[in-house]
Amino acid sequence: MDLDDDGRLKNVFWADPRSRAAYQDFGDVVTFDTTYLTNRYGMPFAPFVGVNHHGQSILLGAGLISSEDTETFIWLFRTWLQCMDGIAPPAIITDQDRAMKNAIAIVFPKTRHRFCLWHILKKVPEKLGSHRAYKSGLKTQLMKCVYDTQTIEEFEISWEEVIKTYNLEENVWLQSLYAERTHWVPVFLKEYFWAGMSTTQRNESMNAFFDGYVHAKTNLKEFVDQYDNALRKKIENEISSDFHSFSVTIPCISRSPIEKRFQELYTNAKFREVQQQVMGVLDMDPSLLRRDGVKKTYLVEDEISVEEFTKHVTYYVDFNEEDCDVKCSCGLFQMKGILCRHVLAIFKCNGIKYLPDRYILDRWRKDIKRRYTLVQSTYDTGNQREDTNRYSSLLNICYRMITHAAGSKEHTEDATKKLYAMIDLYHGNQEPPSMTQTQSNVGLTTNDTPTVGSQQVLSPRVVRGKGRPPSLRRASRMEQEMRKVKARTKKSTVKRKRKERDGGDIQSQNTCRNLFGPSKIDLDSEGNVQTIPVNSAFDISGFQNMVESQESMQLGLDGSQPLPK
């Protein structure tokens, strides 16, 4: 916890043991977002999100912050980094918040920082919608510039053409985007890292997951409890997907040994993505453009569907016969870690039956025993004493030792002997459990009001967020359902009062569907129906399953524009 001079809560961060361990496997690309207000104090909820081997979003820690300035983000990032054993993520994806960018440069100087393309492009109607040519060519040309260019040179030429054609030289927003183009344009991004899952898909998934908290008037303790319930549900979904990947075999659609290899190793979710590309090979007819020794360059014609339209795109594939090294201009492997149909077509025409190991990524494999799955998480928010922190640190070291020692019988016997010797040594010098707590690392008590030692932590001040007017925020499907329920309830109440006034029959009870679990129905002093939730916090069981089913606008990483599902 971070407190102000008056003892009021400013910021708070927490992460469970499983999330800390999962970061070692899935911390290669992290999404950080502060889109939603989540409690009665209006404090932005700031989750760190990764992607697991099923393509599901996975939580790597979260915070509630009192402000969205550079100082606050620095505190949060440093706290999270310390929690993750000082290992910074190779890449982090955020929106264009300037304070956030400054904090990332300070705390994660070697991390590749990229902007969420979805956040950027949803601003296009607001920023350019008033232009007279917006619907008659500007929007289409801009989307082609962003999605259809395959090289940096093509993008530069296309961007300049858009600016000159529509006289946008003085547009400040476009100028700022161009200045930071290496942070968001796909043609730049695919040169640096693969994201495992499209930025849009991650954000849409997490937005759906936490959407139910937007209007939840909960205190901090209640919020943490509900967060833990949601976290448990995500773990249950992952365990179910693990079981499904081992117990259910998806049939191959070809006799290719390459497809068979992916079937054996990858999770079912990722194997389905591979199969989509395998099916696309049927439509591919590569042609050799040039040859230089063992190096070949192919042209591959493809058709991309955008809504009801189909467009033809030509991709370039470089192939080295000597070491089977291949690279496609669509950048699908660099962006999502899945070989594209263009590469698979080149393998087919060159008689490649077996893939080099570099094209089979460990992060999608189902046969790897990941350490975080062995962590028994109790979601106890009161275990932040010094001795428990030391326990966690030693446990991490022990896991590393066990991994190496279990490889042979000799090492196992030697490790066992030494461990028992250490147990005897430290048992005689056992220190009493430490109850000391520091201001920057405090656990919540079981009461609603947390304490730091003997100091009571006061409630935070109500936060006025920036750039987030609730009335302009896009409503999720859950919110739309809530509004319908409220509208029906209000309409029913009006009719009942009219009947009562006119002397008509009065219904004894009016019930409505509760989106957030069980509720108690009662009448107030005026005879009106009241719906009283069982818990003061939301029961999130009604929207937890939305995570996997939320519709998302797919980012066209194969050179296309976003394809609506």
The answer to whether the CB of 301 falls within 8 A of the CB of 289 is: no
Quick one: 363 exposed, middle or buried, by C-beta within 10 A (0-12, 13-18, 19+)? middle
**Which helix H or strand E contains 397, and what residues bound it?**
helix 386-405
The answer to whether the CB of 58 falls within 8 A of the CB of 22 is: yes
Which among 565, 563, 133 has a CA at the least distance from the CA of 309?
A: 563
Number of CB atoms found within 10 A of residue 533's CB = 14
Q: What is the pLDDT of residue 432?
A: 45
Put the strands of the sheet holding 325-328 in their side by side order.
287-292, 295-306, 309-320, 325-328
Residue 530 makes CB contacts below 8 A (sequence gap 6+) with 521, 522, 523, 524
Q: How far is CA 66 from CA 9, 99, 384, 474, 528, in A?
A: 8, 14, 22, 23, 38
DSSP 266: B
The answer to whether the CB of 154 falls within 8 A of the CB of 187 is: yes
Helices (H), 38-97: 70-83
Which residues is 291 bridged to in the sheet?
Answer: 296
* Torsion (CA) 360, 254, 244, 234 in degrees, nearest 10: 60
Write out the two tokens for 444.
């919540």
**Which helix H or strand E contains 98, and what residues bound it?**
helix 98-107
Between CA 133 and CA 272 the distance in angstroms is 41
How remote is the C-alpha of 555 from its chain's centroid?
Answer: 14
Write out the two tokens for 62.
């979260």
Backbone phi and psi for residue 434, each to the nearest 5 degrees, phi listed first: -85, 130
Residue 61's Cβ-side half-sphere holds a number of Cα atoms within 13 Å equal to 23
Pairing relationship of beta strands 9-14 and 57-64 according to DSSP bridges: antiparallel
* Torsion (CA) 197, 200, 201, 207 in degrees, nearest 10: 130
Which among 336, 370, 269, 333 has a CA at the least distance from the CA of 56?
A: 269
Write out the two tokens for 556.
């066209």
Number of CB atoms found within 10 A of residue 495's CB = 13
Coil, strand, or helix at residue 93? Answer: strand
The answer to whether the CB of 379 falls within 8 A of the CB of 232 is: yes
Between CA 309 and CA 450 the distance in angstroms is 58
Q: Going residue by residue through the chain (565 aa), what tens digit of pLDDT does each one get?
A: 888 888 888 888 988 888 888 999 999 999 998 866 555 667 788 889 999 999 998 889 988 888 889 999 999 999 999 999 899 999 999 988 899 999 999 999 999 999 988 888 889 999 999 999 988 899 989 998 998 888 899 999 999 999 999 999 999 999 999 999 989 988 887 754 444 444 444 444 444 445 444 444 566 777 777 777 878 888 888 889 999 999 999 999 999 999 999 999 999 999 999 999 999 998 899 999 999 999 999 999 998 876 667 888 899 999 999 999 999 999 899 888 999 999 999 999 999 988 899 999 999 999 988 878 777 665 444 445 465 567 667 877 887 888 888 888 999 999 999 998 988 888 766 554 443 333 333 343 334 455 555 566 777 777 665 654 444 444 545 556 667 777 777 777 666 666 655 555 444 333 333 322 333 333 343 444 333 333 333 333 333 333 333 333 333 333 444 443 3
Q: What is the pLDDT of residue 211?
A: 47
Between CA 35 and CA 209 the distance in angstroms is 12
Q: What is the pLDDT of residue 551?
A: 31
Between CA 286 and CA 328 the distance in angstroms is 12
Number of CB atoms found within 10 A of residue 549's CB = 9
Q: How far apart are the first and last CA of the chain?
A: 42
DSSP 245: H
Coil, strand, or helix at residue 31? Answer: strand
Which among 558, 552, 564, 553 has a CA at the least distance from the CA of 148?
A: 558
DSSP 563: B
Number of CB atoms found within 10 A of residue 359's CB = 18
Q: What is the pLDDT of residue 541?
A: 35
Between CA 495 and CA 513 the distance in angstroms is 18
Which among 56, 313, 363 has a CA at the least distance from the CA of 209?
A: 56
Write out the two tokens for 438.
């520091």
**Three-state SS sequence of 188-242:** HHCCCCCCCCCHHHHHHHHHHHHHHHCCCCCCHHHHHHHHHHHHHHHHHHHHHHH
Backbone phi and psi for residue 30, each to the nearest 5 degrees, phi listed first: -120, 135
Q: How far is CA 563 from CA 119, 272, 305, 559, in A?
A: 16, 18, 8, 11
Quick one: 486 exposed, middle or buried, by C-beta within 10 A (0-12, 13-18, 19+)? exposed
Q: What is the pLDDT of residue 503?
A: 56
Quick one: 447 exposed, middle or buried, by C-beta within 10 A (0-12, 13-18, 19+)? exposed
Between CA 166 and CA 263 the distance in angstroms is 50
Q: What is the pLDDT of residue 371?
A: 77
